[in-house]
Chains A and B, each alone.
Chain A
Amino acid sequence: MLAFEDVTRVHGDGERAVRALGPVAFEIRAGEFVAIMGPSGSGKSTLLSLAGALDQPSDGRVHLQGQDLATLGAAELAALRRRTIGFVFQDFNLLPGLTALENVALPLELDGTPGREAREQANEALARVQLERLTGRFPDDLSGGERQRVAIARAFVGPRRMLLADEPTGALDSVTGELVMRLMRDQCERGLTAVLVTHDPSHAAWADRVLYLRDGRLVDETCAPETGSGSPVLPLRG
């Protein structure tokens, strides 16, 4: 599903160049739930940006569903984000001018899906995150947990197969955070691929695999003994 081939990302140039990531190489299979952990400045968010086609690597290649992202133009990358990739952010990033339903239907509408059909699919997605009764509310009228559930619904609505989450529970209380993690896990059970950036080991424990980054490099990797269990944190390897 997603493959990094010796990917490096350097910000700035010359004496002011800062290596934010890499080189790193890994592969994430379809339906896999991968967590990325590491201290601040280790390159987690840079990795997520590269995976979501929001940024271009300085070196190496990023393949998504077999496609080299470097070969795609701006419009094709935008189409990829509409159809394949869904983002979930710590601060929700919902459009405040759209209702919950409209926010979820947005990628479909942008992709040309007729309005009624888009709203039906959005309604389904909201029902899956148990927000079917709040579809007409604007983000400012929702709680933090509700906003994040709307964001998750938007991330997997329609044909999207890849969910990229950057500290999605950072602004939520622990109970709501657990609920969000369970939702992500559920989506992976349904075949979605998820990449989660987190500081919290208890949230990383929901993943099938945990990648550890330090100073922009992959330093460790752990796997769950049995997938889909929602089991606690795995021991570090090495």
Chain B
Amino acid sequence: MSSWNALRALARVELRQLAWHRGRSLLVVLLIAVPVAAMVGGSALLFVTRQTIEEQRVEAMGQATLRMRPGGGWTMERALESLPEHARTTTVVRGTVEVISAGRRLRARDFRLEPHALEPGELAAGLLVMNAGRAPGKAGEVALSEVLIQGLGVTLGESVAIDGRTVLVTGRVADPENLNSAVVLRPYDGEGPVGRPSILVELPEAEAASIAAQWEAQGAQVDLRSRTGADDPFEAFLIFVLGSFAFFEAALVVAAAFAVGMRRRQRELGLLGSNGAPRSGMVAALLVSAAALAAVGGALGIAVGAACARALHPYLDGWTGRMNGPFVAGAFVLGIVTAVLAATLPACGAVRLPIRVALSGRRPVAGSSRGWLFAGLGLGALGVLLVLAGAFGGTRMAALLILSGSILLALGLGAASPWILGGLASWAGPLPIAWRLAVRDAGRFRARNGPAVTAVMAGLSVSVMMAALIASVKDLTRVLDPFLRDDVILVEGPAAEAVARELEREFTVLAAAPFQAVYCDGSLVRAHFADAIRDGERVPFDAWIACGGEELLEVFGVEAAVRDFRAGQIVTVTAERAGASVSLFGSGSDAIGVVPVSGSVATQRLREPRALLSLDHLDALGLHAGLPPRNSLLPWLVRLDRPVTEAMAERARGLAAAAGSPGNTIDAEALRMEPITGFYTLVLALCIVTGLIVIFVATALSSVESTEDAAILHTVGAAPALLRAHAATRAGYLAFLGSALAIPAGLMPMIGFQRLAALSLDFVMPWREIAITLLVMPLVAYAGTWLVATWRKAPRRASISLS
């Protein structure tokens, strides 16, 4: 009881301190609030951009509690017979069909449902949504999705052919989880299902589980609603890892803030000790105050994160307004743990000080930092090993190994920083006075300046990593062929043709044409160029084949090959010189045919499509047209008389948005790299700004150490400029050291991740950004501190102990 009373008394002292030192308390609150807000906001947005478990369940089984697909001798009939009388059921048949209208043939996903099954309260409700017209109620009626209606050029009330039967289009249907999907909805009339049938069943949960077990034993495929749907652990893991990085960064600055606070309160803590306060009680009280600040910061972060996510929701589909509970709780707890861990070392150090020394107010002389050096070397070496293991080991945990190795390396460099500070201090003799004092002071108080250096390093290492990534990606893009010609605009979506016609009115257009991909029995056809030669080397490759009219040749700049095209030859749009003929492959491993290849080579190299075939020759070859691999129904290519600029692409985007139906998109080569570069540059800029904020906060905190020195300098006649230089040099020096350590800490993860990249990404050293990190950041820290020192008053007389 007495120890509880002591803790309560000490905690009261600490909590009052928080109110008295509002600036420092606010700093800690903000440092915790920012990563909490990022995690809460990130998880909320994750909820928006990803299917929820309920959405996954509706997509799979509508409102049913059970879904059964026949198998292992267990048929639909036997399943229906085995159900209790009170069970509600409906049948769903899924498959693929070919839809034909006015000579256009398109493949689509086929849904056959019992009439009214999609109505509210029915078991298939939510599986598909009727947007216009009515659901098909009898044989000979269908509903089509928007892309089919647009692609086939039909309207509600017109007819199309499906599987050789003419049917009436009664409505427009949509798959709520894939609005651009080609979907045919037909009524299931109990006749022998063509496709994959399943039964949706509604039963009480316990009963459904029992039936499911019984059916599974018979060999049927059974999905229980309660077992369907799962969170993707990787995304959650990624957010937690990135959040942990932010908390790590915050912890370092929070540790520096607490270290400064302890230093300022050294006498007071000595006084508490001299009055009999137990060390454990003092540490506990200090940690309670840290937890209290973190709780405030966490609450603030949750509010800010939720508000930011809500503010962003107009730009995203499907905002549900729901928060991700585990993430919110996890971020809050992580915030408290971070603050408590960050406060532990300074708190223990402060109360370990002998009471006599604490009461004197003298700064204790730093102990040996060799232990930290060894710890740092150990952690750093382990980190490098993990990164290398991840990069070259080829394990499934590669990303995790690289990530954890990078964190360990950063921690190792941070742990070694006190030793580096101490070592450099012994070489400061020949330096000018301001530099000499800054370097020696940093070395003397290395235990408190180490976290500042580490915080700067952690902040800037992300910038270095991003810079290396951007440099490597840019290098790759210089080597890779572009996706599109630089003078071509690609239009995709239900109103692609209308948008293409608008573009013809807006710009000077040389050619515009739709294109599809070549299929064989529903499978995408790939041409195998076994004898392709590029730069004198044989480079065999596979490519899907685009098909269309002669305008397509002009769009791709291979109009010279029109005679070969008309003759049914494949026209290549590649940098490679193909052989005389090419083998075509469908779903199997056997070639389905051999087609002669035109000798024409495009004026611009393209990555895909690399081969063109006339639409008129498909039937003769036993092939048909279908969706291009981009999963857009009938995209159009529009070739302009000049390279497409970003402004032109923006104008085209505006025309697409104004086309009336949703889902129309614009693509151009000018946009392809720019958004990526722009995004990375934005991230890089954010990292640099974060790094600068960390530099200022960390060095401002550590500059408290030099307050007394500044006062002494004042009394011995140091000019105001020198006093400013003293503070600025300290900031610049710590920033420089942090920046220098950020380079290995930032490059190492990039070296690892570039090995994992899907494309063969060569590592490119970002020299310019490294120079900025090494020179500009310390200079900015120097200049910023100089300015702040100019605004602040000269050291007060009271800081010198005139008795």
Contacts and interface: CB of A to CB of B under 8 A. Distances in A.
Interface in A38-58: 45, 48-49, 52, 54-55
B720 A96 contact: no
17 contacts: A54-B714, A74-B794, A75-B720, A78-B717, A78-B718, A79-B717, A81-B714, A81-B717, A83-B717, A91-B801, A95-B712, A97-B444, A98-B440, A106-B433, A110-B433, A110-B719, A140-B365
B717 A95 contact: no
Interface in A62-84: 74-75, 78-83
Contact of A102 (B425, B436, B718): B436
Contact of A98 (B437, B443, B802): B437
A154 interface: yes
Interface in B413-472: 425, 433, 436-437, 440-441, 443-444
A145 interface: no
B802 A89 contact: yes
B802 A82 contact: no
A33 interface: no
Interface string B702-715: 00000001011111
A93 B715 CA distance: 10
A97 to B, nearest CB: 3
B697 to A, nearest CB: 23
Contacts of A111: 717
B717 A80 contact: yes
B717 A107 contact: yes
Nearest to B443: A97
A124 to B, nearest CB: 18
A18 to B, nearest CB: 14
Most buried by A among B440, B713, B801, B803: B803
A27 to B, nearest CB: 22
Contact of B803 (A80, A82, A166): A166
A167 interface: yes
A56 to B, nearest CB: 10
Interface in A87-129: 87, 89-91, 93-98, 102, 106-107, 109-111
A57 to B, nearest CB: 13
A90 B436 CA distance: 26
A45 B802 contact: yes
A170 interface: yes
Nearest to A97: B440
A49 B717 contact: no
A89 B800 CA distance: 8
A156 B163 CA distance: 109
Interface of B: 363, 365, 425, 433, 436-437, 440-441, 443-444, 709, 711-720, 722, 794, 797, 800-803
A110 B719 CA distance: 8
* Of A52, A75, A96, most B-chain CB atoms within 10 Å: A96
Given A75-B720, A90-B803, A95 B713 contact: yes
Contacts of A89: 800-802
The 4 closest A-B pairs by CB, nearest first: A82-B717, A97-B440, A81-B717, A45-B802
A107 B797 CA distance: 18
Interface in A162-213: 166-167, 170, 197
Given A95-B437, A96-B363, A111-B717, A48 B709 contact: no
A98 B444 CA distance: 11
Nearest to B794: A74
Contacts of B713: 95, 106, 110
Given A45-B802, A96-B363, A97-B709, A110 B717 contact: yes
Given A49-B797, A89-B802, A90-B801, A81 B715 contact: yes
Contacts of A87: 715-716
Given A80-B717, A97-B444, 9 more contacts: A54-B797, A75-B719, A78-B714, A87-B715, A93-B711, A102-B436, A106-B433, A107-B716, A166-B803
A96 B714 CA distance: 15
Given A95-B437, A96-B444, A106 B716 contact: yes
A140 B711 CA distance: 18
A147 to B, nearest CB: 12
A45 B803 contact: yes
A81 B441 contact: no
A107 to B, nearest CB: 5
B716 A81 contact: yes
B802 A110 contact: no
A95 B801 contact: no
B797 A154 contact: no
B794 to A, nearest CB: 7
B799 to A, nearest CB: 10
Nearest to B362: A91
Contacts of A93: 711-712, 715, 800-801
Contacts of A154: 716
Contacts of B719: 75, 78-79, 110
B715 A55 contact: no
Nearest to B711: A93
A81 B803 CA distance: 20
A91 B711 CA distance: 13
Contacts of A54: 714-715, 797, 800
B802 A48 contact: yes
A200 B598 CA distance: 111
A121 to B, nearest CB: 14
Nearest to B438: A97
Contacts of A170: 803
A109 B726 CA distance: 14
A81 B794 CA distance: 15
B703 to A, nearest CB: 14
Given A78-B718, A78-B719, A109 B441 contact: no
Nearest to B442: A97
A126 to B, nearest CB: 16
A52 B800 CA distance: 13
Nearest to A40: B803
Contacts of A197: 803
